[in-house]
Amino acid sequence: MEAPTWTRRRRLVLWPRGMTLETMKKLPLGGVDRRAMVPALAERGPSVAREQLARERARITSAGLSIPKDVAVLILGGSNGITRGLAVQLLFGDRASVFGVHLDSEKMQIGPHHVAAITEAATAEGLTARFFNDDATKPATIEAVIEAIKSAGFRAVHLVNGIAAGATKRYKEHGPTQVKELDVAFDLVLQVPDFAHAESIRKLGLVDVEVATDVDIERTNKFMGTSSLLWAEPLAAAGLLVRGESIVAFCDYDYPADDPVYAMGPLAGAKKLQRETMTQIRERFGAATARLCYPAVATTALGAIPGGLLMYGLTGQILAERGELKDIVGLSREAVAIFSSGWSGADVRLDDAYQATLPEFYRRRDALQPGDVPAAFSKLTSPG
């Protein structure tokens, strides 16, 4: 039996309009029972990953790219979430060559099973798909990947940075706070929030947002702030980052300026650093650069971001009502526009419709009461 996401703290908080909300503790992956998850991943992970890939491949179509055969796309990520979607689109939609660097536990995470399924299917199609399960910020990892790319005969690379390893906390000057959040059960094997079943959307409450330590800040800056430059320099030195041809992009979330988590902590600082390093890459190495701006998506990461499940749930509901909700398959097909001959060099805004929901999101978020759950998310749940 799955453990609940929430740990009772014996206190209640009065929210606007006289609403009383319980303060709860948010646990990763919806608080799944890890003793059940490990054997489930070992037993069902390979088949579940293959089945999901097969469903996605049935929907994927070419985005009309013409990436030369001697050019590869290097993805920092690629085992899960948005970057996995990019890898699948590039490989099976547009027949590109993909190298990926991810960091997953072989026993505890679905990523290695996704990678195995992708690699198996790509090999059967005569495509190049090679993944490295290692820390993408280690010099030894970078050296090994560059050597593999060169040994495989590739002349140039495009780089997409999707590293997500930051502290979802606040800077000391802002202090701790609380945000409204949902308790949603996660799929035991796929490790994503299960919005498809109404009974999985269990409760509305408040969760704490803590203050980041110096170690939190340093680590977030390393992984999500300067990691693009960490790769660009040796890639350029190896002749693989080609002036006037290579493209360097990173997966970005364009958060509201007053977001209590993203805008007031290490995630904001890291994203500013990332944007600054992209300017350096453009000026020093002559690579075109872009932000791939995504909306909130129902991925594993929402289990770690305070307020993230509610943000996705309500904006997803509004987008669905407007006929504008897109999943990772649809978003990934649009994201690879940076590799098309007609790309203008501008950021790829995959979040325009999402950004347009925010005024309505805030209205609904502030009015949402515990008794409204799960009916408030009816467009995301499957009948029956």
CATH number of the domain to which 232 belongs: 3.40.50.720
Question: Mean pLDDT score of the chain, rounded to an integer?
Answer: 92
- Whether 206 and 163 map to the same domain: the answer is no
Burial of 227 (0-12, 13-18, 19+ CB in 10 A): buried
Report the candidate in 58, 301, 273, 316 with the shortest Cα–Cα distance to residue 164: 301
pLDDT of residue 278: 93
pLDDT of residue 277: 94
- Whether 255 and 348 map to the same domain: the answer is yes
Range of the domain at 117: 32-171+214-304+325-353
Quick check: bond before 139 cis, omega within 30?
no
Instruction: Quote the CA–CA distance of 294 and 290 in Å, as a whole number.
Output: 12
Contact 364, 314 (CB under 8 A): yes
Q: Which residue has the tokens 């079943």?
A: 197
pLDDT of residue 16: 54
- Whether 99 and 247 map to the same domain: the answer is yes
Instruction: Quote the CA–CA distance of 21 and 183 in Å, as a whole number.
Output: 13
Burial of 8 (0-12, 13-18, 19+ CB in 10 A): exposed
- Whether 253 and 373 map to the same domain: the answer is no
- Whether 342 and 319 map to the same domain: the answer is no
The angle formed by the CA atoms of residues 134, 138 and 140, to the nearest 5 degrees, is 85
Instruction: Quote the CA–CA distance of 340 and 223 in Å, as a whole number.
Output: 28
Contact 284, 201 (CB under 8 A): no
Burial of 82 (0-12, 13-18, 19+ CB in 10 A): buried
- Whether 11 and 69 map to the same domain: the answer is no
- Whether 119 and 140 map to the same domain: the answer is yes
* 153 dihedral zone (left: phi>0; alpha: psi -120 to 50; beta): left
Sign of CA dihedral 372, 373, 375, 377: positive
3-state SS, residue 24? strand
- Whether 89 and 116 map to the same domain: the answer is yes
Counting as low any pLDDT under 70, the low residues of the chain are 1-19, 383-384
pLDDT of residue 4: 37
Distances (CA, A) of 270 to 220, 298, 303: 6, 22, 20
Number of domains the chain contains:
2
3-state SS, residue 211? strand
Helix intervals (H) in 60-107: 81-88
Beta bridge partner(s), residue 72 = 97, 157
Q: For 188, phi and psi rounded to 5 degrees?
A: -60, -35
CB within 8 A of 357, min separation 6: which ones?
Answer: 315, 318, 319, 322
- Whether 309 and 349 map to the same domain: the answer is no
- Whether 10 and 53 map to the same domain: the answer is no
- Whether 42 and 3 map to the same domain: the answer is no
- pTM of the prediction? 0.92
The angle formed by the CA atoms of residues 34, 24 and 380, to the nearest 5 degrees, is 75
- Whether 51 and 91 map to the same domain: the answer is yes
